[in-house]
């Protein structure tokens, strides 16, 4: 096994003199492994730390062994009502106690059991304990579509976590991870002023891989992947960077998704591991209910305070929701108090595009059919089939998407853009050439599709605009940098919200028949 050494960040926490820490990261980002590393450290398993940055510190008192109470809140039952959740929390507490050789009564509430565990632990070991709580918010986020149940669960957890504050003098170290930060509702505040390291630059790479770590630790796997993919090592690293890098939690430090990167190094194949690892149905519902679009958050400015203290009271801002879920990441902002937002990388852009299309089309089956047809259209140079699939997407968009003050070509381009992205085609939107900017360029199967979109006020202008689109492609030399090209002009009638005319390679057709 290869362990990418993150123990320097643990030493940073311990040396800070603070005792209670909170770390927010998306799923599949190494939060649980960080908890496991802390657990092994405080249990005194020195053999696991040979050769690691923290090894020389293990004999110091601050790094020494102590009783450890570890709780994984993602394992709690939330499908059997509030009573089922309470029983699950009681059982989890009893299991944690048993691992310490402590027996707890069976007829107490979860918060009373936790209180007894903390007291009995101190009395049994005559030592302050370390508490490690993984995914502290998981039970509440699982019930985001059931607000009443979520509120009851939040209250139960609040009483439970309050025991940490009540027994503060019995504890030496507390580490809490989660996806969200429930500032309102009191769930987060009960941890007695934790040090939130989520946005701190010194902890920007506490989870995730840096490029230096990948090159140093996985040199053998990278060379093998380069051979299998028939690419120079530098080109392979550039591709890995585009596909899996780009996550940023402090505005300056960029890290690779560890889950996806490790799966790539194992399979040696580029794939959308992020989406396939299990996308929440709640996220699809959220996208649907809020009529979100692919482009609306790119480059959006957001206050640092909004990231640090989100609402999470049923009326959260969409950009916060998507940031916490890992679909948006931070970029440097115009000031020290602001960030910009963007999708981290190609993998995530593919995932959000796929989610949006599935939310429009109603099922994954419909989305798969569309993907198959678009690939067939590009493979067989069949513009008619491609136009048909574009129109299916445009007709599937909820009416709310069209309720904007002024629709223009850019509006329709953004909708078509996500169709290409779900296929992993990495469309080049607004691609600059030596004489102008093309709406779309799609490179597929050794052929480049040069696509120009025009919006028509009515049917009378369709032919003129179709000719203008192809003429623009030619005069602006959009195809000049490509050898084998298909040049396609699309005309969209705004009133019909569909491609009603298209022209390709000098021949024209009305959608549905010959001209």
pTM above 0.85, yes or no: no
Give the residue from 216, 258, 217, 220 showing the smallest Cα distance to 240. Answer: 258
Q: For residues 468 and 487, what is the distance between their CA atoms, to the nearest angstrom?
A: 12
Query: Which is it for the CA torsion 241, 245, 246, 248, positive or negative?
Result: negative
User: Does this chain's domain 7-200 share its CATH topology with 363-514?
Assistant: no
Q: Which segments of 201-353 are extended strands (E)?
A: 247-248, 254-255, 301-303, 329-332, 338-342
What pLDDT shows up at residue 158? Answer: 93
Does 363-514 carry CATH code 3.40.1350? Answer: yes
Q: Which fold has domain 7-200?
A: Rossmann fold (3.40.50)
Give the residue from 499, 346, 326 showing the smallest Cα distance to 428. Answer: 346
The 10s digit of each residue's pLDDT in 139-195 is 998 887 788 999 999 999 999 999 999 999 999 999 999 988 765 556 777 887 889
The ranges assigned to domains in the chain are 7-200, 211-271, 281-347, 363-514
Q: Which long-range contacts (CB under 8 A, 24 or more apart) does 372-379 make?
A: 374/419, 374/420, 374/423, 375/423, 375/444, 378/425, 378/442, 378/444, 378/445, 378/447, 378/449, 379/444, 379/445
Q: For residues 473 and 335, what is the distance between their CA atoms, to the nearest angstrom?
A: 40
Given a cut of 70, the residues of the chain with pLDDT beneath it are 182-186, 277-295, 311-316, 400-406, 422-424, 431-434, 506-515
110-125 helix and 147-166 helix, angle to the nearest 10 degrees: 20
Q: For residues 480 and 487, what is the distance between their CA atoms, to the nearest angstrom?
A: 11
Give the residue from 452, 249, 453, 243 showing the smallest Cα distance to 350. Answer: 243
Q: For residues 112 and 134, what is the distance between their CA atoms, to the nearest angstrom?
A: 20
Find all residues with CB under 8 Å of 189, minimum gap 6, and list them.
Answer: 183
Q: For residues 219 and 224, what is the distance between their CA atoms, to the nearest angstrom?
A: 9
The SS3 call for residue 46 is helix
């Amino acid at each position: 096994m290869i362990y990418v050494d993150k123990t320097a960040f643990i030493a940073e926490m311990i040396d800070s003199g603070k005792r209670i820490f909170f770390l927010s990261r998306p799923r599949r980002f190494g939060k649980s492994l960080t908890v496991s590393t802390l657990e092994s450290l405080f249990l005194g398993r020195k053999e696991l730390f040979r050769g690691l940055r923290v090894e020389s510190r293990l004999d110091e008192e601050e790094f020494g062994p102590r009783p450890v109470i570890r709780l994984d809140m993602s394992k709690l039952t939330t499908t059997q009502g509030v009573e089922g959740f309470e029983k699950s929390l009681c059982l989890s507490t009893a299991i944690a106690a048993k691992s310490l050789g402590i027996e707890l009564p069976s007829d107490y509430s979860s918060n009373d059991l936790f209180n007894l565990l903390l007291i009995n632990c101190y009395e049994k070991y005559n030592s302050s304990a370390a508490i490690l709580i993984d995914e502290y918010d998981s039970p509440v986020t699982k019930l985001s579509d059931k607000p009443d149940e979520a509120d009851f669960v939040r209250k139960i957890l609040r009483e439970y976590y309050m025991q940490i504050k009540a027994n503060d003098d019995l504890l030496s170290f507390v580490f809490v991870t989660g996806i969200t930060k429930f500032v309102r509702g009191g769930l987060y505040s009960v941890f007695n002023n934790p040090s939130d390291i989520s946005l701190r630059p010194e902890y920007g790479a506490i989870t995730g891989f840096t490029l230096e770590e990948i090159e140093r630790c996985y040199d053998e796997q990278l060379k093998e992947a380069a051979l299998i993919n028939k690419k120079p090592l530098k080109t392979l690293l550039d591709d890995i960077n585009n596909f899996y890098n780009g996550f940023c939690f402090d505005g300056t430090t960029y890290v690779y998704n560890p889950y996806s990167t490790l799966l790539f190094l194992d399979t040696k194949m580029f794939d959308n591991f992020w989406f396939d690892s299990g996308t929440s149905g709640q996220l699809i519902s959220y996208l649907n209910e809020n009529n979100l679009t692919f482009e609306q958050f790119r480059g959006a400015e957001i206050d640092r305070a909004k990231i640090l203290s989100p609402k999470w009271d049923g009326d959260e801002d969409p950009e916060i929701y998507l940031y916490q879920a890992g679909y948006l990441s931070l970029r440097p902002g115009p000031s020290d108090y602001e960030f910009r937002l963007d999708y981290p990388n190609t993998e995530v852009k593919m995932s959000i595009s796929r989610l949006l299309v599935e939310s429009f089309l109603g099922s994954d089956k419909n989305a798969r059919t569309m993907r198959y047809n678009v690939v067939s259209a590009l493979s067989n140079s069949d513009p008619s089939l491609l136009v048909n699939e574009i129109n299916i997407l445009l007709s599937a968009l909820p009416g709310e998407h069209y309720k904007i003050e002024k629709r223009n070509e850019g509006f329709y381009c953004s909708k078509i853009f996500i169709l290409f992205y779900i296929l992993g085609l990495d469309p080049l939107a607004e691609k600059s050439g030596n004489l102008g900017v093309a709406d779309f360029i799609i490179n597929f199967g050794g052929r480049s599709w040069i696509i120009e979109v025009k919006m028509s006020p009515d049917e009378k202008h369709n032919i003129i605009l179709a000719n203008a689109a192809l003429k623009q492609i030619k005069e602006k030399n959009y195809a000049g940098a490509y050898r084998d090209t298909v040049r396609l002009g699309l005309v969209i009638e705004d009133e019909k919200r569909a491609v009603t005319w298209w022209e390709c390679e000098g021949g024209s057709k009305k959608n549905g028949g010959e001209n």
